[in-house]
Amino acid sequence: MKHRITAALERFSRAMLAPLSYLSAAGLLLVVGALLTSAPLAGVLPFLRWEPVQLAGGIIYKCLTAVISNLSVLFCTGLAAALAKREKHQAAFIALMSYLVYLTAGNVTLTELGLLAQPDALTGLYSAGQTMVLGIQTVDTGVFGGILLGLLTAFVYDRTCEKAHRGILGGVFSGARWSFACMAALAAVLGSGACFVWPPIQKAIAAVTGFIAASGNIGLFLYGFLERLLIPTGLHHLVYMPFQFSQLGGQLMVGSVTYTGAYVVMMTEYNLGLPFSDGIVWMYTGFTKTFGYFGIAAAFIFCARRGSRKKTALQLLPLAFTASLASITEPLDFLFCFSAPVLWLAHAAISGSFIVLLHLCGVTAFTSNLLGSLVMNLSAGAARTNYPVLYLLGLAQIAVYFVVFTVLIKALDLPTPGRRPEEPSRPEKALPLDEQGVEKLIAAFGGRENIRTVDNCFTRLRVTVNDPAFVKEQALKALPCSGVVQSGCDVQIVYGIRAPEVRQAVERRLNRVVC
């Protein structure tokens, strides 16, 4: 039972990355639009006042705002496509139609019961617990409504998409159309039921938010600690997502529009030139990625054997820059999280502590990655972000990591990179994606008959096997990868940013459809 629950959580966690993977690009484009239409910046750079530039900036800004303001739609379609086992495009299409049914059912129920709120001049629909989604006013379930519909669509679709009916209606309600009919009925019930069930939940969420706020710095420490600690399990997404994309991360009212979640609120405040609210602390998970990994790499290099320091530096410095510039930390994480777990605990503790320090020092700056945060902090200004303190704390974190890791490594004689007595040489080049290279990978999983599902997240190839006894762990570790994690039937291999490419190559070799 425990393994099944863990496997289900891991699958849900990686499915959530499908919609999340587009938000970084959307956020960056939104920043471009905001910069092009920024009045203060136009005062310094006169060419920004040119009408074509203003038009282009306005289009970019408004279009990307529409994307970020409709996260529930993205989660609904993205989850359905990620979790469906076949014809993923059909599942996504059914999810979108079902979500429209869900929204409309809620609107009709509120209207018939006389509960449809009128926007308040000051608070809009926020005080009534309602919102506008795709032009439809309904109960404000935030991203949870989209997530629920996405999960249900994948579940129902996989079990009904091959159903064939006979008779007159057989040609209409068969296959994917039968899946939609089932989901439409379910979505209508859920949309109507949300009008009765969700208001008490809204009150409970408000109470949880109050509890977290009351926990103060202890809550912030645990937030940062767990977000790093759970990286090896792939479940860390479940820690930060509720705060960054739901009411737990705060809400902002602008006119009649309600923005929910720390990420959306932060981007809205940035674009409108508003002071940043306290909810920005939930976005500080990028701080350690930006700075801390330089300290980790420096400690490993310093503690390496004299003859191995140059080789260790060549191995680790690119990984530290990848963490800082691309927020991809797993290639470096897997070099010590299992071989030196005491360092991993220290790593999580330092990360959580610095989130608390950022809050105590009144920092309200961007911490996404080194270049992105630098551009956004400079454009927002020191008065709004207090970014000079951010970068001073960043340097301090590098020093803390270096000192703590160096002391622990030498005191406990930990087997970190460059110190292992007999380190097996790992292949330098990337996994060849030709037939021979992919066949080696498939064989290491126990052959194609042993492979049940193939998936990936940002940096990991995730494979579910039928029998873990047939998995050749040593053969997997001999491949050019950054790490291998096996938990029962679930196997994860860290490939970095090439993970999607490797998945596609494996699926092509298995004669499966790549969606």
Cβ-based neighbours of 112, under 8 Å, separated by 6 or more: none
Nearest to 220 by CA among 396, 353, 364: 353
**Is residue 480 a contact partner of residue 433, using CB atoms and an 8 Å limit?**
no
CA separation (Å) from 173 to 77, 86, 88, 163, 365?
A: 22, 19, 19, 9, 53
Q: How many CB atoms lie within 10 A of CB 21?
A: 13
The residue type of 277 is S
Which of helix, strand or coil describes residue 184? helix
- How many CB atoms are closer than 10 A to CB 52? 7
- Angle at which helix 142-160 crosses helix 88-112, to 10 degrees, equals 130
Cα end-to-end span (Å), the chain: 31
| Cα–Cα dist 259/251, whole Å | 6
* Closest residue by Cα to residue 363 from 373, 374, 355: 355
Instruction: Please answer whether residues 280 and 390 qualify as being in contact, where contact means their C-beta atoms are separated by less than 8 angstroms.
Output: no
Residue 90 · residue 176 · CB < 8 Å: yes
- State yes or no: is 457 an active-site residue: yes
Contact between residue 150 and residue 75 where contact means Cβ atoms under 8 Å apart:
yes
Apex CA 113: angle with CA 109 and CA 116, to 5°? 75
Short-list 472, 305, 283, 453, CA closest to 377: 283
What is the separation of C-alpha 341 from the centre of its chain, rounded to a whole number of angstroms? 24
Please, what's the largest Cα pairwise distance for the chain?
A: 80
**Which of the following is catalytic: 76, 182, 457, 481?**
457
Please give the DSSP secondary-structure letter assigned to residue 252. E
Give the residue numbers annotated as catalytic, written as ranges: 457
